[in-house]
Amino acid sequence: MWAAAPLLLLLLFLLLLPLAWLCRRGAARLEPAGRAVLITGCDSGFGHLLALRLHRLGFTVFAGCLSPGGDGARRLQLEAGGTGRLRVLQLDVTCARDVRAAKELVLSHLPERGFWGLVNNAGISTFGETGWLPMETYEKFADVNLLGSIRTTLAFLPLLRKYKGRIVFMSSIIAYFTLGNGIYSMTKAAIEKFCDALRLEMKKFGVQVCIIQPGNYAPSTKIQPPVSAEQIWSELSEEEKAVYNKEYVEERANFFNSILSEGSTNGNEVVDAMVDALTSPAPKARYMVAKLKEKALVFLCALFPTVVMDSVLSYALSK
């Protein structure tokens, strides 16, 4: 009898855990006024939409832009109405100097309730089979999509611990599988593991870490423009051209472009999840915002052996 006690306690814990989580979800939402949030990658896409949404909710928003004098940044300031609670700042996440300057700016303009959230949104995407891309491209993607998020996180971690705030990371369902953009999948899978470690480590400080996993929102974010088979071919090395003919490159490019065109144009669906991660009394560890067929593919990747999924994905690529 006593030997079964640990198992019974575990079952009781698993039964009560969802009830406790639902009770917390029903608690009052966070009061945004007087709290600061820094968002990276606000020139366009999700970052741009989120900056405006948080500003309208009452947060003090620091909107990091790669080009603070560009059209996106100027439009952001115009749409915010110049209230003073939204500040556009130069922030290249690959540049340690920019990150330090961003922290100094935030510290010098902190509202009364302090620093509440960091949203690591900045990212880039491209298309190409493994051997088509030079090492410099792999280094750039790792620096922007992975190390850039880590760089900003490490800089702002002391503030987040002090105010028991939130950290939100932009991942993707592409972290689970790849269909022509393995370089992007690689960085998103890596950031997921970084977040898993960070989430557990930050619990003791009252800091909550959330991952956003969008499906295909290419038309909404413009993170991945349509690819040009002609440009891909012109940039291939002679060794790769000897392996892949031009018709194959065109087929792959057309396939990838057709996937991009099927993406959602409603980026606010993802922004809703980001806002929940920042304001909910009980935020989720992961927010998957995707179509049913995209979620089903993720589920299959988690459930079936690799050999099965390789066959499914290979068949999709062959069509």
Pairing type for strands 115-120 and 208-214 reads unpaired
The end-to-end CA distance of the chain, in Å, is 58
Residue type, 143: D
How far apart, in whole angstroms, are the C-alpha atoms of residue 8 and residue 4? 6
CB 229 within 8 A of CB 247: no
Residue 11 Cα distances to 4, 283, 284, angstroms: 11, 24, 22
Catalytic residues: 184
CB 195 within 8 A of CB 211: yes
Q: Give the 3-state secondary structure of residue 170.
A: strand
Tokens 């990212």 belong to which residue?
A: 123
The helix/strand count (H/E) of the chain reads as 14, 7
Indicate the DSSP class of residue 145.
Answer: I
Residue 251 Cα distances to 255, 301, 312, 315, angstroms: 6, 25, 18, 14
How far apart, in whole angstroms, are the C-alpha atoms of residue 21 and residue 18? 5
